[in-house]
């Protein structure tokens, strides 16, 4: 059974790990980008991490995103050791410890990071 | 070794009714005239791509259109670095004996050939189609993320980045072909509308129509041929989510390779032509190549270091930020201007003194792909 994954409409972030060399990464693929070993395992992320970059998008790319602008995007380093891009609550800053939740925006599920309390 | 024998750039801006092939042909004819060569002299063609004329074989589409039957042809795609990579490819093909006189040409009606939304969405596709683009990303958003990390790490201010936009606009004021020539101030940049914070409108290059072309040859064919002394590349990632660092990219390795091949140190470079899609792009590249310490590029620009009369004149045509950005031809305009400056043919914009070594650096994607050329007097 596949794990819930926002890229296919589920409420989850999925990361991959190489059983051979221990490398972890985000973009799903069928081999380890470090050592080349096949069949990496997919596992759910806790969704907790630290913000390393933030932007607030004012000029949306399309009609479907315009009603949401301005919206905040962030790069977050997850506890699993991978970097992911997601939406973020307004006001999130570099260095903030955040956790993910999932919202419906522009007719799809997107990860939204909010500051951990 | 190969030689830059001819170069040309059209005016950038709005060219309504002109197609990709129209703009390519205009630039190609002008570059051949600059080299003192005829169409029949060309035995190689290197092209890039055009978002308004997508085609899997653009080099032979152009060769047919322009009336050429070359013995070598190819088209390549490396985002904003494509134009520099095309010159490097022509250089390598000439060195390998694949051709002797190569026409390198690009053009695109990127501004008037499509809607603004279409241009923005097409360009955003350098992002990841599954993990980034569905979030509503744009190219400025990717670079906005980069800019936030840059400002945070180095303690630089948005006003420092703005200095680079002010400098590019001042330089563009001296070039009749530039898309935007009206001077701007730091306050104008800071007060322009936000696009992808911390980037404002005037931190971003415009979308332009235009074309550019070079002729590279195996031997000097005129008294204004420049020698390509070294070339390098560096590629660390495609998507910003997967970049190994948000502060250092492939520019340093690329520039070091090119300089080592030329047998020259960076301190020998008297003219810099550096990719400037956004103010933060220019700051990061200048600093990673070594023209400025980390976080200092904007302040050095304010102090005149990169001005026409400064220690290392930079993008004296106005760069992408003000001459404009028509896609592949955007970075090629940097080399056309370097060619003018280093051969004493820049007219009122001419940098004083002997410009014997120049460096050209292009960046594609989100600081993903880097190509550097070192150029000298033969």
Per-residue pLDDT of chain B (378 residues; tens, 9 = 90+): 899 999 999 999 999 999 999 999 999 999 999 999 999 999 999 999 999 999 999 999 999 999 999 999 999 999 999 999 999 999 999 999 999 999 999 999 999 999 988 888 888 888 999 999 999 999 999 999 999 999 999 999 999 999 999 999 999 999 999 999 999 999 999 999 999 999 999 999 999 999 999 999 999 999 999 999 999 999 999 999 999 999 999 999 999 999 999 999 999 999 999 999 999 999 999 999 999 999 999 999 999 999 999 999 999 999 999 999 999 999 999 999 999 999 999 999 999 999 999 999 999 999 999 999 999 998
Instruction: Tell me how far apart the alpha carbons of residues B112 and B14 are, in angstroms, rounded to a whole number.
Output: 6
Cis peptide preceding A70, ω within 30 of 0: yes
> How many CB atoms neighbour CB B137 within 10 A?
28
Q: Is the pLDDT of residue A1 over 70?
A: no
A61, β-bridge pairs:
none
pLDDT reported for residue B119 = 86
Neighbours of A31 (CB within 10 A): 13
Residues of chain A contacting B117 with CB distance shorter than 8 Å: 61-63
Q: Using one digit for the tens of pLDDT, what is the confidence trace for A30-52? A: 999 999 999 999 999 999 999 99
Helices (H), B67-105: 82-95
DSSP string covering A32-54: -TTT--B-PEEEE---EEEEEEE
Cβ-based neighbours of B192, under 8 Å, separated by 6 or more:
B200, B201, B202, B203
Q: Which helix or strand (DSSP H or E) is residue A74 part of?
A: strand A71-78
Report the alpha-carbon angle B103-B113-B214, nearest 5.
15
What tokens appear for B108 in the block?
């695109």
**CA nearest to B6, candidates B220, B232, B172:** B220
Which tokens is A77 given?
Answer: 């380093």
Whether the CB of A27 is below 8 Å from some CB of chain B: the reply is yes
Query: Structural domain boundaries of chain A?
Result: 48-115
Which residue of B131, B197, B242 is in closest CB contact with A56? B197
Q: Is the dihedral angle over the CA atoms A93, A96, A100, A101 positive or is it negative?
A: negative
Q: What is the pLDDT of residue B180?
A: 98
Q: Encoding tokens for residue B41? A: 């002299």
- B280 near B367, Cβ under 8 Å? no
- By C-alpha distance, which of B104, B101, B43 is closest to B218? B101
**Token digits for B365?**
């994607």
Cβ <8 Å between A27 and B239: yes
Q: Which residues of B touch A110 (CB under 8 A)?
A: 134-135
Q: In chain A, what percentage of residues exceed pLDDT 70?
A: 99
Question: How far apart are the C-alpha atoms of A99 and A87, rounded to whole Å?
Answer: 11
Q: How far apart are CA A73 and CA A85, in angstroms?
A: 7
How is residue B318 written in tokens? Answer: 């106005």
What predicted TM-score, i.e. pTM, was given to this entire model?
Answer: 0.97
E strands present in chain B: 2-9, 44-47, 72-75, 101-109, 194-197, 199-200, 209-217, 226-235, 271-274, 357-364, 369-376
Rounded to whole angstroms, the Cα distance separating A86 from A92 reads 12
d(CA A30, CA B266): 42
Q: How far apart are CA A12 and CA A1, in angstroms?
A: 14
Q: Could you confirm whether domain A48-115 is CATH 2.40.50? A: yes
Size of interface A-B (CB pairs under 8 A): 106
Chain A partners within 8 Å of B149 (Cβ): 52-53, 75, 94
CB atoms A56 and B194 under 8 Å:
yes
Distance CA B286, CA B152 (A): 18
Cβ-count burial B18-29 (b if 16+ within 10 Å, e if not)? bbbbbbbbbbbe
Residue carrying the six token digits 């660092």: B245
Cβ distance B196 to A75 less than 8 Å, yes or no, reads no
Asked if B298 and B190 touch (Cβ cutoff 8 Å), the reply is no
Local structure of B56: helix, strand or coil = coil
Residue of A nearest to B144 (CA): A55
Look at the block and give the residue holding tokens 């005829």.
B38
Measured between CB atoms, does A58 come within 8 Å of chain B? yes
In eight-state DSSP terms, residue B278 is: B
Please, what are the domains in chain B?
2-113+207-376 (3.40.47.10)
Tokens of B278: 């956004």
- Owner of token pair 């799903």: A28
In whole angstroms, what is the distance from residue A52 CA to residue A72 CA?
13
Asked if B141's CB is within 8 angstroms of A26's CB, the reply is no
Q: Mutate which of A85, A86, A91, A112 to disrupt the B interface (most B C-beta within 10 Å)?
A: A85
Total residue length of chain B: 378
């Amino acid at each position: 059974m596949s794990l819930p994954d926002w890229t296919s409409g589920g409420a989850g972030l999925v990361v991959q790990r190489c059983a051979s060399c221990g490398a972890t990464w985000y973009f799903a693929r069928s081999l380890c980008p470090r050592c080349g070993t096949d069949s990496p395992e997919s596992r759910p992320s806790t969704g907790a991490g630290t913000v390393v970059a933030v932007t607030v998008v004012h000029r949306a790319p399309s009609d479907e995103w315009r009603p949401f602008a301005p919206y905040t995007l962030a790069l977050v380093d997850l506890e699993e050791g991978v970097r992911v891009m997601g939406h973020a609550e307004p006001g999130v800053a570099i260095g903030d410890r955040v956790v993910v939740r999932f919202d419906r925006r522009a007719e799809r599920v997107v990860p939204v990071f909010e500051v951990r309390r | 070794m190969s030689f830059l024998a001819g170069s040309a750039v059209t005016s950038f801006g709005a060219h309504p009714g002109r197609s990709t092939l129209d703009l390519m042909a205009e630039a190609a004819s002008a570059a051949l005239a600059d080299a003192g060569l005829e169409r029949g002299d060309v035995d190689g063609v290197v092209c890039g791509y055009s978002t308004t004329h997508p085609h899997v074989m653009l080099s032979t589409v152009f060769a047919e259109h322009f009336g050429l039957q070359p013995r070598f042809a190819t088209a390549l795609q490396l985002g904003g670095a494509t134009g520099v990579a095309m010159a490097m490819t022509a250089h390598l093909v000439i060195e390998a004996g694949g051709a002797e006189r190569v026409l390198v040409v690009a053009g695109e009606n990127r501004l008037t050939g499509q809607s603004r939304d279409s241009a923005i969405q097409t360009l955003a596709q350098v992002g990841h189609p599954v993990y980034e683009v569905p979030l509503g990303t744009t190219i400025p958003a990717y670079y906005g993320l980069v800019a936030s990390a840059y400002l945070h790490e180095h303690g630089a201010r948005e006003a420092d980045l703005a200095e680079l936009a002010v400098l590019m606009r001042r330089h563009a004021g001296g070039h009749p072909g530039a898309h935007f020539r009206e001077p701007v101030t730091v306050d104008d940049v800071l007060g322009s509308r936000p696009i992808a914070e911390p980037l404002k409108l005037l931190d971003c290059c415009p979308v332009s129509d235009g074309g550019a072309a070079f002729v590279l040859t195996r031997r000097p064919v005129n008294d204004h041929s420049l020698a390509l002394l070294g070339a390098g590349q560096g590629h660390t990632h495609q998507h910003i989510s997967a970049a190994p660092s948000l502060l250092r990219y492939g520019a340093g390795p690329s520039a070091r390779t090119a300089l080592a091949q030329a047998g020259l140190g960076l301190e020998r470079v008297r003219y810099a032509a550096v990719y400037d899609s956004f103010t933060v792009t220019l700051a990061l590249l200048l600093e990673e190549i070594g023209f400025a310490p980390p976080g200092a590029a904007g302040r050095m620009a304010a102090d005149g270091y990169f001005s026409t009369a400064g220690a290392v004149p930079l993008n004296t045509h106005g760069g992408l930020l003000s001459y404009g950005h028509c896609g592949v031809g955007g970075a090629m305009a940097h080399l056309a201007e370097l060619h003018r400056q280093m051969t004493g043919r820049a007219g009122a914009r001419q940098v004083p003194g002997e410009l014997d070594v120049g460096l050209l650096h292009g960046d594609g994607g989100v600081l993903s792909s880097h190509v550097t050329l070192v150029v000298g007097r033969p």
